[in-house]
Structure 1
Amino acid sequence: MNNTKTLPRIVFFGTPEFARYCLAYLVEKGFEIAAVVTAPDRKAGRGKKMTSSPVKTYSIEKGIPVLQPENLKDNRFISDLKTLAPDLQVVVAFRMLPKLVWEIPALGTLNLHASLLPNYRGAAPINWAIIEGEKETGVTTFLINEQIDTGALLLQERIPLLETHNAQGLHDALLQIGAPLLAKTLINLSEGSLIPRPQHPQGNEKEAPKLTPENTKIDLNQPLNLMVSKIRGLDPNPGAWLSFKEGEETVRMKVFQAEAVY
């Protein structure tokens, strides 16, 4: 990247490892991160120890200010964001933002989404692309609006979805193209060389809803290839599962790897 360019001032919203990787990439490329917004610390693990998000842990190491609002409409939080005066806000794997948050920067708030929008809008695009047997997937940057994953498209990058990909493997592959695409989008937007284009759904797009016990259960009536795709798409987390009777008891079992044998 040409460091003679004036890079935009950014507030970064994100929580998990996917977001941490993207944040670290932007920092390494010289972007000015005014602050990060991440989930409040939560109790986790068997010991219920208070745990910080990967984004918070990284930000503290780098001396980046951290905001952890419980309520995104909190007046003090909104005031803090406005005081930071970002040129752009970036969202990677974070909850839905209210309008009074995403409308703060003059250049807008953009999101990096792990699918080729308008396909796989929703909370679990990586998992559902595998479950549905896609041969190709990718990442999209777009401007946030009032609805989930429906804003104007900015840039996309595609990769083949391999039969060897499980959810973790695809997650890692998308990181490798997502972080550079995010940086490119930020540069192009700040330079005014990128024209957002509306999404034009055709009505047959697939969704990526939140994973639940109901939609992660293996349907033994499905063809073998679909069962294998579901298992791959949910490996390692949360894991596909099935249940069976053993005597008087119902046994629930998680399945992480499978191969269709005809």
Structure 2
Amino acid sequence: MQLINHESMKDLRIIYMGTPDFAVPSLEILIENGFNVVAAITAPDKPKGRGQKVAISPVKDCAVKHNIPVLQPTNLKSPEFINELRSYNASLQIVVAFRMLPEAVWNMPEIGTFNLHASLLPQYRGAAPINWAIINGEKETGVTTFFLKHEIDTGKIIFQEREPIREDDTVGDLYARLMQKGAKLVLKTVQAIQRGDYPQMDQNEDQELKSAPKIFRETCQINWNQPTDKIYNFIRGLSPYPAAWTEINGKNLKLYLVKKLAMNNELKALSPGDYASDGKKYLHFHTQDGGIDVKELQIEGKRKMDIEEFLRGNKV
């Protein structure tokens, strides 16, 4: 148990750090439960889309709606930002889907800084835990709150909640469930900290650890010389973003929704990576031991569409 001045627990001054939509429910649940969020830290505004209109982050949008001051530093180590952050006199900082923090930032509050991570730590430390859990065919994952320290995703665990991974889950499906489950865990963690009664458990590293490194477009190309199950998990684990891709008629083709096919006579006549189609209703790719039936896809230069719409406009 962490021993902190009990008076500081009753009047928690919280600074919240996050950027994408994943971080919004956690901020909202704190506000709804009356916690004193004194400032929000998020990414700078940036041009987005074809029109290059300046877009604000989902966390900034939420904070502004609730009249919470917003800081958008480009350099987390700059003396100006450090001084401004210190002026809020926060007793606790919470990080959900934000970038790495320098020690001068995470070590500033009296109680510390805790992070919400979308895995059951110590498994899947890194930038893309939801993707890699599905890509690796896991049946279960979860969310973890833990205190930050020097090494990434290695601090003392406060709480964890488990979440099953369904056979047909995409990253989008699992992301949505973990976003809500994570918000409830953030609230549980802050309530425990406010009471001054919360665990701090060392991460168990006496096991084989799987990592979750950042995913790049170049590594999202499908290798059809693999078993069907492995390719199926790979496609699910990258859908809807950044999306697994292959080539067809010299163009990139992103696959979003697929089903597995057992080996049949049509597929036996093909080599891995070859495809068959009736030109109307189906597109099947041959794998090492079966096939992939494409249901939703996007060809280069076009929008996402279902297979029948795609085949009406494209000859394969």
Normalised by the length of structure 1, the TM-score is: 0.94
Offset, 1:191: 2.3
- DSSP 3-state at the match of 1:259: strand
Q: How does 1:132-147 map to 2 (within 5 A)?
A: 132-147=136-151
**Partner of residue 95, structure 2:** 91
In the alignment, structure 1 residue 21 sits paired with structure 2 residue 25: yes
Offset, 1:215: 2.4
Q: How does 1:1-262 map to 2 (within 5 A)?
A: 6=10, 8-244=12-248, 246=249, 250-262=250-262
Point out the more displaced range, 11-20 or 195-204: 195-204
Structure 2 distance, partners of 1:6, 1:176, is: 26
Offset, 1:203: 5.0
Q: Which consecutive aligned stretches of 4+ in structure 1 deviate over 3 angstroms post-superposition? A: none
- DSSP 3-state at the match of 2:193: helix
CA contact (8 A) 1:18 1:175 kept: yes
Offset, 1:176: 2.0
CA contact (8 A) 2:217 2:242 kept: no
- DSSP 3-state at the match of 1:222: coil
Equivalent residue letter for 2:142 = G
Structure 1 distance, partners of 2:176, 2:252, is: 29
C-alpha change, 1:68 and 1:220, in structure 2 (3 Å) is same
CA contact (8 A) 1:7 1:187 kept: no
Q: CA offsets per residue over residues 134-182 of structure 1, 9 Å max, x none?
A: 1001000000111211111110000111112111110111122111111
Q: Unpaired runs of 5+ in structure 2? A: 1-8, 263-316
Q: CA offsets per residue over residues 199-224 of structure 1, 9 Å max, x none?
A: 12235211111111232221111110
Equivalent residue letter for 1:114 = A
Q: Unpaired runs of 5+ in structure 1? A: none
Q: CA offsets per residue over residues 6-45 of structure 1, 9 Å max, x none?
A: 3522000000001112111111111110000000001110
Query: Identity over the aligned pairs, expressed in percent?
Result: 47
- DSSP 3-state at the match of 1:78: helix
CA contact (8 A) 2:159 2:199 kept: no
Structure 2 distance, partners of 1:8, 1:164, is: 41
CA contact (8 A) 1:130 1:230 kept: yes
Offset, 1:195: 2.5
CA contact (8 A) 2:145 2:158 kept: yes
Point out the more displaced range, 199-208 or 149-158: 199-208
Structure 2 distance, partners of 1:87, 1:112, is: 18
- DSSP 3-state at the match of 1:261: strand
Equivalent residue letter for 1:168 = G
Structure 2 distance, partners of 1:186, 1:74, is: 28
CA contact (8 A) 1:107 1:190 kept: no
CA contact (8 A) 1:41 1:53 kept: yes
Equivalent residue letter for 2:260 = A
Structure 1 distance, partners of 2:78, 2:85, is: 11
Structure 1 distance, partners of 2:145, 2:232, is: 30
Structure 2 distance, partners of 1:167, 1:147, is: 26
Normalised by the length of structure 2, the TM-score is: 0.78
Structure 2 distance, partners of 1:55, 1:141, is: 19
